[in-house]
Amino acid sequence: MSILLFDPLEAPAGAWPAGCPTERRYIEAIARGGPGLVANVRTRWLALRSGDRLYPVTVNDGEIGDSYVCLPHSAYVLYGRRELELVELGLLNPLLRASLLLVDLVLRAARVNHIVHVDNWLLSTNLHGNWDGRDARAIRDYLSQLFPQHLIAVRSVDPWSSPGLEAALRTDGWLMIPSRQVWVVSDLAREWRPRRATRHDWRLLAGSGLTVEDVHTLRPGDAERIAQLYRMLYVEKYSGLNPIFTAAWISGTHETGAIRYRVARDGNGIIQSVAGSLVRGDVLTPPVVGYDTSKPRDAGLYRIASYLFAEQAEQSGLRMHSSAGAADFKRTRGAQPVIECTAVWVGHLSPWRRWILRAFGVLLWKLVVPVMRRKQL
C-alpha cells in the first residue's frame, strides 16, 4: 500500500487523493492558518496519504501543558487533576490525587508527549468515519521508521463509533489505553425523541423567543461570538485544557464545511446558544457547544444548545456521539455509556518505555474504568 507523509503547504505532485475533499480542505485550512488556530496547541501539522485515504497528522516533541488533543500527559494528568476538583468521590479523591503524582512522574519518564497522532482533527472527539484499519499495520510501520522515538497513536477509538478500526488495531497489537467514558445514542427517533427531558427541552426552546438558524453564511461578528460562547462553557467553566477554538478557526471550519453550525439567536440577532457538529460516516458529534453563561440558569441555554445538535442528528438519520461529561443530563435523554480509548503503537520503542505504557494501560482498565462505570463519569 502506498503511504506518504507530507507538508500540506508543500505537497508533491499527486500527493492529494481525489476522493477526500472535506479532509483536504480542513487540512489545508489549518496548514494555512497554523495550528495556532486552536490557541492552546503547538504541533507539527502534516497530511498522511494511505492509498485513497487522507488523514491529518500531528507530531509533538515533548511539549507540556497544551491541550489534551495532542498531549497524553495533559489528558491523563493535568485534566485528571481538574476533574478531581469537579467530582466528589469521597475517600477516593485523596487517593487519586496521590496516584496522579506518581502517574505524572512515570509518564514524563516514558516521554509520552513524544507522539505522532494519526487522524487527529484537533477536536475533543475524532470521528474516524469508515476507516476500517486495514492499513493500520502499514501506517505504523511507515511512521515508526520516520519517528523511531515517538509513540504512534489514534485517539477516540471505541467499539461503537469505529468498530472495524478498533478491532483491526487490537488485532495488530496496538495498546488500547482507556481515556474517558463517552455518551452515545444509536437511534434518536426511538431513544432520544420520546424522552420526557427531550420534550421539556423542546418546550423550553419553543417558549424562549429565540430563533433557530442553520448557518449558511456567517454574519459579521458571528465567528467571534461563537468562539466566545464556546470558551465561556468549555474553557472558563470547565478546563483550559479543552481545545481553545479561535474566531479564525470557526470561520475556517465553516467555510470548508467541516463543521456545521446551528445557532439560537435573540430578537437582536445575537447568538445565545450554538452547536457546531462534525459528521463522518453515519455519526455526528458536536465539538463546538456553547452558550452565554452570564444569563440566568433558568433560561436553559445549555439545554437549547444540546437540543440543536441532537435534533440535527435525528433529522439527518445519524447516530449521535455526545462526547464525555454531563452524564446525568445525557442519560436522561437516552444516551448510553461507552469506554473510549487511545490506541498506541509502542512496538518500536525501548523495552522500558513499552513496559511503562503497557502497565499504565492495565492499571487504568483495572482501577479507573470500574470507577468510571460505577460513578457514571
Residues in the chain: 377
Please give the helix or strand (H or E) that residue 330 lies within, else none: helix 327-331
Q: Are 327 and 376 in contact (CB under 8 A)?
A: yes
What is the end-to-end Cα distance of the chain in Å, rounded?
41
Instruction: Specify whether the CB–CB gap between 276 and 261 falls below 8 A.
Output: yes
Cα maximum dimension of the chain: 62
> Given this model, what pLDDT does residue 79 score?
85
pLDDT at 14: 87
Nine cell digits for residue 123: 477536536
For residues 374 and 289, what is the distance between their CA atoms, to the nearest angstrom?
A: 27
pLDDT of residue 86: 63
Under CATH, domain 185-336 is a member of which superfamily?
A: Gcn5-related N-acetyltransferase (GNAT) (3.40.630.30)
Cβ distance 34 to 43 under 8 Å? no
Identify the burial level of 9 via C-beta atoms within 10 angstroms of its C-beta, where 0-12 means exposed, 13-18 middle and 19 or more buried. Answer: exposed
C-alpha cell belonging to residue 297: 440558569
pLDDT for 92 = 67
pLDDT for residue 47: 98
> Counting Cβ atoms within 10 Å, is residue 126 exposed (0-12), middle (13-18) or buried (19+)?
buried
Instruction: Locate the domains of the chain by residue range.
Output: 3-181+339-375, 185-336
User: Per-residue DSSP letters for 123-163?
Assistant: SSS---TT--STTHHHHHHHHHHH-TTSEEEEEEE-TTT-H
**C-alpha cell at position 72:** 497524553
pLDDT for position 367: 84
pLDDT of residue 81: 76
pLDDT, averaged in runs of 10, over the chain (377 residues): 92 90 94 90 97 96 96 92 66 72 91 98 96 97 98 98 97 97 97 97 97 97 98 93 97 96 97 98 97 95 98 97 93 96 98 96 90 73
- What integer pLDDT is reported at residue 332 of this predicted model? 96
Residue 45: closest CA among 21, 63, 26: 26
Query: Does residue 271 sit in helix, strand or coil?
Result: strand
